[in-house]
Amino acid sequence: MDAKQRMLHYSRTVHICSVTRDKGSGSVRLDQNREPIFDYTLSDYDEETMMIGVDQALRVLVAAGATQIGTHQFDGECFCVQGEGLEKPP
C-alpha cells in the first residue's frame, strides 16, 4: 500500500507499541561532528521478550477488529487479517 492510500485510512489508524525492559547493555558516543553513535546488540533474551510483546500487541489489534496491520515505515509491509492469521495483501 502506498503512502497516499495509507493516509486515506489514517482516521481508522491506531498506534501501538511494545515496551520491554532489556537486560543487555550498550553505549552511546559522539563522532567528530558531535553526532551520536549507538552501539547496542540485542541479547537473545531481550529479542525473545520483545517478540512476545509484539505478538501480544498484534493479538490485541486483531481482537479489536483490525482488518490490516502494518507499520508507518515507507517500505513497511502491510498484512491483511484473515480469521486467526495474517496474510500479505495481493
pLDDT in tens, 33-58: 999 999 988 889 999 998 999 889 88
pLDDT in tens, 62-85: 888 888 888 767 677 777 777 655
Domain hosting residue 51, numbered range: 3-14+22-87
d(CA 80, CA 90): 9
Count of domains forming the chain? 1
Burial code (b: 16+ CB inside 10 Å, e: under 16) for 22-44 equals: eeeeeeeeeeeeeeeeeeeeeee
d(CA 84, CA 15): 21
d(CA 52, CA 63): 16
Amino acid type, 90? P
